[in-house]
A and B are shown apart, each in its own frame.
Chain A
């Protein structure tokens, strides 16, 4: 009986996907549903939750700090997309090129920062971007005769520090994604193109870029999510969740502030639901735009 069950071609697939489905239900659907529920409640730990309808959302709409957090996350996401998609793609192509010398060396050195913990990296970047004259970046500015800058106290300079940290950390990872995509492009296409007299640039735009599209879409999708959900980098860079004038406050940072620091879990859940909505809208739009939902031809 057991044997028949296990060997059944109809049942086996479900048995194999069951662990995933369970994990998905318990760790994804359940928390998601309960967050949505909580966002309509006033929740204080240790006390009975009260249903308050749309009060949390109404409050959210009038909350300037929340909009500041949304703007910060959005700007950060756009900046990381602008830097962390084209450059890693270019580097991957260079590293993949036959003419490249010391390929393995570059591959591993680009990847190395991803192995460090955000906590350590953030702390080191905080010191590098310190406002004292003696901090690394300010000493470098000093060689060019420039005055020290209070990087972590200004909005624009704060973004520079955040994006520098993200670039340093994630360039290598994105290069690897693109490299694995490049490996799946058959050499024949390039050979054929060469015979037809195509230039390197033409090969890049006509063969590499179109065939890398699935990889690119994947990288864009996770980058959008990672950009909007960024939190630890900011927390480490500013040594806590409270940056001057909230220049480093992200959506998740605000969720943490309301939920954990202020013990206002219902309101925090509303923040989370809005974050989910924003991420889904942007990503679905992006995926639809890039044709991911069309049937393969």
Chain B
């Protein structure tokens, strides 16, 4: 009797352990893999592509079909693997550095890109394939993914920050969003909205730097100085956070589940109409059409308020650099395809059509037949046309530099500092000084 018991126990313990492993695996090896053949024949070369945004795969699918049609001799099958953000970057980092198991093509998010440029980048320089398109695309977006004059990543979009207003809530409160120019206007409107509807005008982001970047860009400053050293306790930074804190204290903005508008929890909050505004890069549009379907026909796009009239009203936010790894099976093919899929005029049109991003080829911004196509799902979803706003702020889109210190700055501010300020009400100057000290310590 005793022995049966012991055996049962042993078996149970072992199954637990095995179950534990089995359960962990899917998230460990990560994500979904699918092979896109794009009409390719038998002789096609199979290239692998890792991304952390499922939608990016859809864009490549379209461009792949075109490529295979135009290049019957150099057809490609694309093996797309979608993984969660952290997972994908961690795995990619290990794979490129050890030279084992890396894909041919991969998406790297701006916030993580500097990590991949450390030392000798294990990525292929793309200058030769970018050159033919260099004059047509926004230079600063390519510079983001460059080191010592070599371009390692192909940009996806400009990421111009704009305001997304829920017109239904604003109407209920009697607020006209087109009249909001300065943050003071925004504050007064927000007070009205909270009084009339009990809802919040906007979010106090604790896990992302979109708002902070926007407010710094308006003042013409950055998170780092000219040498790329962190300066997160600058006067401009204190001013930016004081402004946001004041909005929070007046019930104009409030923290949101998920910590920022671009999270699953926040999509739900927005979709239920609990927050009226999101200040986000333009690519947030695709999140509206995909995850916040109840808001169709209610969201208007406008320039972001400024501290004083005349300040620049936008900043490029986020970004994905697509790279070719040193270990790619066919480097030349991967590079040519990448340039075709992301930099050609067709590609730039499709980036708008499929993804709803503001393409880096700004000529597309003025192609009315593309931007105002009534059949386009983004044109249909939003109250006004995003390109009307984009063209208005075109020359005011500033940039927050990406430096080797950036990943650490993001990490400290987004996990600790913003939470301390907006959730715990810690003194702003103190919180920022602590952050600066912590960042300097980590960068030692």
| Chain B CB within 8 A of A240 CB | yes
> Using Cβ atoms and an 8 Å threshold, which residues of chain A touch B438?
64-65
In whole angstroms, how far apart are the Cα atoms of A242 and B89 in the complex?
14
Does A76 touch B at the CB level, under 8 Å? no
A258 to B105, CA, bound (A): 26
Q: How far is the CB of B275 from chain A (nearest CB, A)?
A: 12
Known: A183-B5, A246-B415. A44 touches B24 (CB 8 A): no
Taking a contact as CB atoms closer than 8 A, the residue among A64, A114, A132, A246 that contacts B269 in the complex is A132
B16 pairs with A120, CB closer than 8 A: no
Contacts of A3 in B (CB 8 A): none
A244 touches B423 (CB 8 A): yes
Residue B99, interface by CB 8 Å: yes
What is the minimal beta-carbon distance from B6 to any residue of chain A, in angstroms?
7
Mark each residue of chain B from 91 to 125: 1 if its CB lies under 8 Å from any CB of chain A, else 0. Answer: 00110111100000000000000010011101000
Given contacts A114-B16, A132-B268, contact A62 B441 (CB under 8 A): yes
Please determine whether A262 and B415 come into contact, CB atoms closer than 8 angstroms. no
Assess the A131–B6 pair: CB atoms within 8 A.
no
Q: Distance in Å from the Cβ of B17 to the closest Cβ of chain A?
A: 10
B415: contacting residue among A63, A114, A132, A242, CB under 8 A? A242
A150 interfacial contact with B, CB 8 Å = yes
Confirm or deny: A111 has a beta carbon within 8 angstroms of a beta carbon on chain B: yes
A111 to chain B, nearest CB (A): 7
Q: Which residue of B lies closest to A258 (CB)?
A: B442
Give the distance to chain A from B277, nearest Cβ to Cβ, in Å.
19
CB-CB < 8 A to B118: which residues of A?
44, 263
Q: Nearest Cβ distance between residue B407 and chain A, in whole angstroms?
A: 8
Which residues on B sit within 8 Å (CB–CB) of A261? Answer: 86, 89-90
User: Which residue of chain A has its CB nearest to the CB of B412?
Assistant: A65
Candidates B24, B97, B206; contact of A232 at CB < 8 Å = B24
Interface residues on B, range: 35 or more
| Contact (A46, B98) CB under 8 Å given A63-B441, A117-B22, A132-B268 | yes
Please determine whether A180 and B23 come into contact, CB atoms closer than 8 angstroms. no
B419: chain A residues at CB < 8 Å are 153, 244-245
Which chain A residues numbered 96 to 114 have a C-beta less than 8 Å away from chain B? 111, 114
Please report which residues of chain B, range 220-256, place their CB below 8 angstroms from some CB of chain A when the two chains form the complex.
none
CB < 8 Å neighbour of B265 from A44, A118, A130, A263: A130
Q: How far is the CA of A201 from the CA of B416 in the complex (A)?
A: 50
**Do A245 and B416 have beta carbons less than 8 Å apart?**
yes
What chain A residues lie within 8 Å of B99 (beta carbons)?
Answer: 46
**Size band of the A side of the interface?**
35 or more
A263 contact set on B, CB distance < 8 A: 93, 97, 115, 118
Kindly state whether residue A199 has any CB partner on chain B within 8 Å: no
Does A116 count as interface, using CB distance less than 8 angstroms? yes
Indicate whether B188 reaches chain A with its CB closer than 8 angstroms: no
Residues of chain A within 8 A (CB-CB) of B93 are 45, 260, 263
Taking CB atoms, residues of chain A closer than 8 Å to B71 are: none
Nearest residue, chain A, Cβ from B12? A176
In this complex, which of B5, B27, B118, B269 has the most chain A Cβ atoms within 10 angstroms of its Cβ? Answer: B27
Q: Which residues from chain A contact B2 at a C-beta distance below 8 Å?
A: 183-184
Chain B contacts for A180, CB-based, 8 A: 5-6, 9
- The answer for the CA separation of A130 and B122 in the assembled complex, in Å, is 40
| B374 adjacent to chain A (CB < 8 Å) | no
**Binary B-proximity of A61-83 (CB < 8 A = 1, otherwise 0):** 01111000000000000000000
B203 within 8 Å of A by Cβ?
no
Q: Is A115 an interface residue (CB 8 A)?
A: yes
The 7 A-B residue pairs with the shortest CB-CB distance, nearest first, are A117-B23, A45-B97, A46-B97, A244-B419, A242-B415, A131-B257, A245-B419
A-B contact pairs, 17 of them (CB 8 A): A46-B96, A114-B16, A116-B19, A116-B23, A117-B24, A118-B23, A132-B269, A150-B423, A153-B423, A183-B1, A240-B85, A240-B86, A244-B207, A244-B419, A245-B416, A246-B415, A262-B115
19 new A-B contacts at CB < 8 Å, known A119-B24, A263-B97? A44-B97, A46-B97, A46-B122, A115-B19, A116-B19, A117-B19, A117-B23, A130-B257, A131-B257, A153-B419, A173-B13, A242-B411, A242-B414, A242-B415, A244-B207, A244-B416, A245-B420, A260-B93, A263-B93
